[in-house]
Amino acid sequence: TRAWFNSRDSVVQVVIRSAEMWSHVCQVKGKVHASVRGVSSHALVSWPPCLISLDLEGMGICDAGAEALAGPLRINATVTMVNLGDNKITAEGIKHLTDALKDNKSVSKLLIHDNGFGPEGAKHVADLLRITETATSLNLSDNRIGAAGAEALASALRVNATVTKVDLRNNRIMDEGIAHLTDALKHNKSVSEL
């Protein structure tokens, strides 16, 4: 499958190694935003240097797709937004992604809502938050993280100085989780929206 990425005056042809994938790309102010459908575990081996956002919401990439994306995300220096919402990614897939993002220095907005990865996945996100210097916005809504996941995130937010927005709607956090998050915000001066 071939996808064409338009960049100002030139067209860059990119060969994508998956027959199950098709891509729709549009040019926005000289930067490329991509929506990719049907990602397989071997897709997206390389990206064009002008790619700044990757929207794979609702594509059913699961853990295998998350693992496949981890390699390119680890070394990519241009992508600033990644949307992997509603993809049935479990805690295992979240671990692949967060481990890759620990090395990434460009992704500032991460949307991993509606995956249902539970408290274990939230712990992997918390591990990322402890060391990231680029993440500013996280959408973790609808992941059933519960009070244990909220506690892990609260612990990380106590030391994180970059995140300004965290969406935790519909996570069954309960009063215990809210207490942990409220306490964390006493120590965190960067979060303005929770």
Instruction: Find the angle CA(63)-CA(65)-CA(194) to the nearest 5 degrees.
Output: 70
DSSP calls for 46-82: S--TTEEEEE-TTS--HHHHHHHHHHHHHH-SS--EE
- Could you give the dihedral angle defined by the CA atoms of residues 86, 70, 83 and 192, in that order, rounded to the nearest 10 degrees? 110
pLDDT value for 49:
63
pLDDT value for 30:
41
* pTM of the complete model: 0.79
Confidence category of residue 136, pLDDT binned at 50, 70, 90:
very high
- The residue whose two tokens read 């990865």 is 117
Per DSSP bridges, beta strands 2-7 and 10-15 are: antiparallel
Average pLDDT over residues 63-80: 88
Q: What is the pLDDT of residues 19-49, one digit of tens each?
A: 233 233 333 334 444 444 444 434 444 556 6
- Could you give the dihedral angle defined by the CA atoms of residues 41, 44, 46 and 51, in that order, rounded to the nearest 10 degrees? -150
Q: What is the pLDDT of residues 152-193, one digit of tens each?
A: 999 999 999 999 999 999 999 999 999 999 999 999 989 988
User: DSSP state, 123?
Assistant: H
